[in-house]
Amino acid sequence: MRFAAYEHRHQTGVAVVDEDGALHPVSGARCLTDLIASGRGLPSLLDAGASALDLPPGPYVSQVRLLAPLQPPSVRDFVTFEEHVEGVRRSVDGAAGVPEQWYTAPTFYFTNPHSIYGPGDDIPVPPGSAILDFELEVAAVMGREGRDLTPEQAREHIVGYTVFNDWSARDLQSAEMKVGLGPCKGKDTATTLGPYLVTADELEPHRDADGFLRLALTAEVNGEKVGEDLLSNMSWTFEEMTAYASRGTRVVPGDVLGSGTCGNGGCLAKLWGRRGEQTPPPLKPGDTVTLTVEGLGTLTNTVVAGAHTVPVPTGRNRSRERS
């Protein structure tokens, strides 16, 4: 099933989207995150969807404003495509190859759950940035709480998937990563999810013999294709990523786990690293980014001017007195 969060006539709701694009509202549901958390994972969500499909349809997708399908309590963004690591290291850090440590575990960082945008939303340029980039990813959404899961157990905790765009200020990212604490402000302004949450059972026919989801990925800027790849080129499965995320802690309903950027043109920085120049150029106000994932849909956003930079002083050399 495809679940959508939407706004219609100043009211928000959650609905199942049928094959004709009609919305079947889920009775009493105003937030998909809460709906997921109130049940027992995928079985409960499918039951709620089946009940909605038994009722008369409401408006069509074309008649509503689609929202981000959920507001996650946390967002972990992994880096599981080896080819992406090679390209971005060359572009952002000026380094070659892949760090040996990358192969030991599916590394992730936490990004901002308070900067979630939906399909069709305008995306502001981060203050102080002149090198804005997109990142084409897929996200798994947790449907049940779990801790110290095995990959086999983790499959039962994934309720569905959605398209994920990790907007990246490459100039801010390059500067702050010299401190050694990760992307931070370079990733802080916007993450787009949508257009739908597609339940996990829908994608099982795309699973290959090694457990990876073989889905076609395409990225376009202003209608021109700049990248395409297969999701199955990930080096870890979503179940393995979930198991690692839950090690020594909890994953909870609504948590989002991003795949990381696909390798072949999944972002502009990868192309810059390969070509040795910023071609295509960084995103600017007026540019439209369209990401399409087989089985999940198409996510489109347009870049707009952002806020002015609020100045913060540089660090002071203090006396280090102890008393």
Shared domain check, 42 and 181: no
Average pLDDT of 165-177?
93
Shared domain check, 107 and 235: yes
Shared domain check, 81 and 51: no
How confident is residue 242, by pLDDT bands cut at 50, 70 and 90? Answer: very high
Domain's final residue, options 34, 67, 100: 67
Shared domain check, 104 and 11: no
Range in 15-19, 129-133, 175-179, 211-215 the model is least confident about: 175-179
Q: Give the pLDDT score at 92.
A: 66
Q: What sign has the CA pseudo-torsion 102, 108, 111, 116?
A: positive
| Count of the separate structural domains present in the chain | 2
Residue 96 has pLDDT above 90, yes or no: no
Give the tens place of pLDDT for each residue, 271-317.
988 888 999 999 999 999 999 999 999 999 999 999 999 999 999 99
Tokens of 102: 């990358």
Q: pTM value?
A: 0.96
The number of helices, as runs of H, and strands, as runs of E, in the chain is: 8, 20
C-beta separation of 217 from 266 below 8 A: yes
Q: Give the pLDDT score at 94.
A: 67
C-beta separation of 304 from 287 below 8 A: no
Shared domain check, 281 and 264: yes
Residue 261 resides in a domain: yes
Shared domain check, 252 and 167: yes
Tokens of 95: 């380094």
Shared domain check, 258 and 118: yes
Average pLDDT of 220-229?
98
Shared domain check, 169 and 263: yes
Q: Give the pLDDT score at 91.
A: 66
C-beta separation of 249 from 147 below 8 A: yes
Residue 222 resides in a domain: yes
Residue 263 resides in a domain: yes
Residue 231 has pLDDT above 70, yes or no: yes
Give the tens place of pLDDT for each residue, 49-94.
999 999 999 999 999 999 999 999 999 999 999 998 887 777 666 6
Which runs of E-coded beta strand occur in the chain?
2-8, 11-17, 23-25, 65-67, 75-78, 108-111, 116-117, 122-124, 132-133, 136-142, 146-147, 158-166, 168-169, 191-199, 216-221, 224-230, 250-251, 256-258, 288-293, 297-304
Shared domain check, 183 and 141: yes
Shared domain check, 88 and 46: no
Cα–Cα distance, 17 to 20 (Å, whole number): 8
Q: Residue 232: give the domain boundaries.
A: 75-304
Cα–Cα distance, 256 to 142 (Å, whole number): 7
Question: What three-state secondary structure class fits 81?
Answer: coil
Residue 27 resides in a domain: yes
Q: 181-213 in b/e burial notation, b at 16+ Cβ within 10 A?
A: eebbbbbbbbbbbbbbbbbbeebeeeeeeeebb
Residue 31 has pLDDT above 80, yes or no: yes
Residue 161 resides in a domain: yes
Domain's final residue, options 37, 67, 97: 67
> What CATH number is attached to the domain comprising 107?
3.90.850.10
Q: Which of 200, 196, 195 is nearest to 45 (CA)?
A: 200
Return the amino acid letter for 104: T
Shared domain check, 63 and 88: no
How confident is residue 183, by pLDDT bands cut at 50, 70 and 90? Answer: confident
Shared domain check, 178 and 79: yes
Q: Give the pLDDT score at 182.
A: 80
Residue 318 resides in a domain: no
Residue 34 backbone class (left: φ over 0; alpha: ψ -120 to 50; beta: rest): alpha
C-beta separation of 202 from 294 below 8 A: no
For the chain, what is the mean pLDDT? 95
Q: Give the pLDDT score at 87.
A: 77
Cα–Cα distance, 69 to 195 (Å, whole number): 7
